[in-house]
Structure formats: C-alpha cells, structure tokens
Amino acid sequence: MKTTTKRALAIVLGLAVVAVGGAALVAALPTDTRAIGPGAETQPTDQLIAAGRYIATASDCIACHTAPGGKPFAGGLKMATPIGALYSSNITPDKKTGIGNFSLNDFDRAVRHGITPAGGTLYPAMPYPSYAKMTDADLRALYAYFMQGVAPVESANRTADIRWPLSMRWPLALWRKAFAPPVATIPVDRYQSAALARGAYLVQSLGHCGACHTPRATTMQELAQDESSPHYLAGGAVIDGWLAVNLRGDAADGLGRWSERDIADTLAKARNAHAAVVGTPMADVVAQSTQHLTDADRQAMATYLKSLPAVGQGKATFAASEATARALRAGNEENRGAQLYVDNCAACHRTDAKSNAVTFPALAGNPSVLADDPASLIRLVLAGSALPTTGKAPSNLGMPGFAWRLSDEETAQLVTFVRTSWGNQAPAATASAVAKVRKQLDAEHASR
C-alpha cells in the first residue's frame, strides 16, 4: 500500500514538474511586435513635444510615477496589491536609472504591450491593456515628450516587496499572453459621432478608466475593455481604501441621474451641482489629469459615459422622499443613527441631506452613498477627506474625520442611517466592516 502511494505521489510530482516546466517554456518564448519605426526619435518639434505633454496628462502618467515629495516621473510611488507592494519606475530620460536608453520601439513595447527592453513583462499595475488602444501618432508624441520635454532624474528603481514564489516574474508573461489585448486602435465608425468616438478613446485608452472602474476576474484581468460588455465600468475594486464606483447609467449607484454637464463638471472641478469626488485616487485624477484637458475633451468623455446603459446589478435604489427630513425637523430621531446624524452631519448636509450645491455634496441619491460596498462612506466618516484644488474650483472644501469620537457600532449605525434615509435604500453597514476600515487606517498611519 505504501509503495503504491509513493508511486502515485511521484507521478503527481513528476506531472507537476513537467507542467511548470512547460509553462515556463511558453512564458520564455519571445513576443514579436510590430515595429513602428524611428519616427520622431531624433529631432522632435516643439509642437510634437507639446502634443506629447497633453497625452501624458490625459494618461495621468504623473500620478503613478511620482512619489510623494519626489521629482516628477522619477518613480518610487508605493502601490499596494493583493500579493505585496509594488513601486513605480523612473520614467525620466535618465540613461542610468530611467528610460533614457529606450528606442521608440522599446517605449512602444513597454507602454502598449507591457514588455521591457530585456523581454520581461511589466506588472499589470501599468495599464498597458488600456494603452494598447493608443494610436501610433499619440505614442510617438508621448515618446518625444518623455525624451525631450522631461528633465532626467537619477533615481534607482526599487524592487517589489513580494515574497517568493509570488515574486517570480515569468508567470506574468503567461498572464500577458493570455489576457492582454492586442494593440489595435478603436474603430471610429463604431460610434455615431466624432465626439462620441473621441470620448471612447479618452475613456478606454488614455484615461484607462476601466483599470479601476471595471470589475476583474479571479485571474485579475478586467472583465471587459469596452462597452460591448455590461461589465465595462460597472464598478471596480476598493483602491487605497476607496471604492471605484459604477460609471454606467444606473439611477442609484451609477450616473443615470447625472447630466453630461454634471459629468464634465466633475472632471473639471471634482464636484457638480449635487455630488463630489470622494477619495484620494479620483481626486488625484482630477487634480493631475482631467482638469487640464480641453473643455471639448471633457465633454466628449461625458458624452461617452452618458451613452453607457444601466446594468441593473446593484442592490440599491433611490426614490426621493421628504419623510426623513420632516421627521428630523420635528425632532423625531427614531434611532441612534438619526441621532448621530443630527449631532455630527446635519450642520453641513442639512436635515434634508440635500446640502448645498455650492459647497457640500448632497447625500440623498448620491452614487457613493448607494454603492453596494459601503467602504468609501465608512472611510469618509472615520477619516474625512478634502476636495482637490482645481483651476475652476480653487476651494479645497473638506470633511473632518470622526474616528476619535465614534465607535465601530456607532459608525455603522450612522452609515446605515444615511444609506436608508431620504429615499436611499442600500444595504446596511456592519460594525465588523467599520472595524476592518479602521484597522486599515491605523496601518496607514503607522507606516507614514
């Protein structure tokens, strides 16, 4: 019996070795890509460099490739992932530590294919699946900008804080070969107008909105790359503690009740007449990227996003009601959540939760309030947040955190009250969910 068991284990082990060896062999096979030629490698014009600066802004390259307090594009930003921390790379034209030795084709393979000059694979924290739709013209301009318009900075790249065996890089090549889309520009004739096509390009490719706002499979690839699937932009993961919300036409947790102007205003100012950006990741996108786009490009993005139909997968609903406001004005605080709201929130957000369109965002019908996952609202109550300063909205209005005065149970009661009042109907928050967010905040504070 023991001999038979040992033989079976040996066979299984042998098959596993063969399978791993075969996978490693497939991963090691080089990937051929279309060379786009020397193009603007030598003497780019000022006009081309300026165009590349705009492409870099629309692509928000500075957000990931600049560490807090660091020099632009010199890398070093820490990015938490399920397998450990990654650090962004130096993409200045420094020849020792940056990309100064990259040819145009090297640059193309990295940006649109996720392949390093040595043939390795970049972590998909670099959104090359989205940049795969970037046009050759924009890629050339981007290269010209980074080589001629960015100051070189000598700053060594930091290795990832990922333990073996997850630190092995060759499986990334298998992931890339299985899930990364081929380089192909968006067919303009798919869309009914030039503005719609431009918006699709900005949202799908340069803006790489799907990298955060599209749900992912267990194998971590985005479930969709464009509007042909209802998964596209239907709400993503929690990024740095903040939920990437549904950007489709759902009336409760999406943009269904927003106008194109509301969307364009949010891209320009991080706020609109009845809502505001919640959370650092999207606030950074507005501050560093979308506020600097042309009005026409922001409008094109709004037109495209508004064209996406609802998916109807959310659990929340909203039907405006004055019942809660009347009860609070009458002094009828029917539960602890209502009491906490009056004590801590009503001064700014008012008893009707409509707040003030010029200052504080409304809570009634707010997509972030109605998201299936209450993580953003819990984090906002505990830690507070501030709107970014933008050219069109220079006031960085903010909300204080209440972690010091509210217990986990009280926070859950307050969040639940907000999510189930004034016509909001979303799942209740739990004390355990609050405790999880509080623990994350404590860890973030300790690491600073």
Q: From the annotation, which residues make up the binding site for heme c?
A: 61, 64-65, 209, 212-213, 345, 348-349
- Residue 55 to residues 180, 188, 202, 214: CA-CA distances in angstroms? 22, 19, 10, 22
Q: Which of 175, 270, 253, 269 is nearest to 213 (CA)?
A: 253
CA 219 to chain centre: 18
Q: Which of 410, 400, 282 is nearest to 337 (CA)?
A: 410
Q: Which of 379, 383, 377, 384 is nearest to 363 (CA)?
A: 377
Phi, psi for 80 (deg, rounded to 5): -75, 135
Which residues does the annotation place in the binding site? 61, 64-65, 209, 212-213, 345, 348-349
Helix axes 336-344, 408-419, angle to 10 degrees: 90
* Start-to-end Cα distance in the chain: 58
Between CA 379 and CA 418 the distance in angstroms is: 14
Structural tokens at position 278: 């919640």
> What is the length of the chain?
448
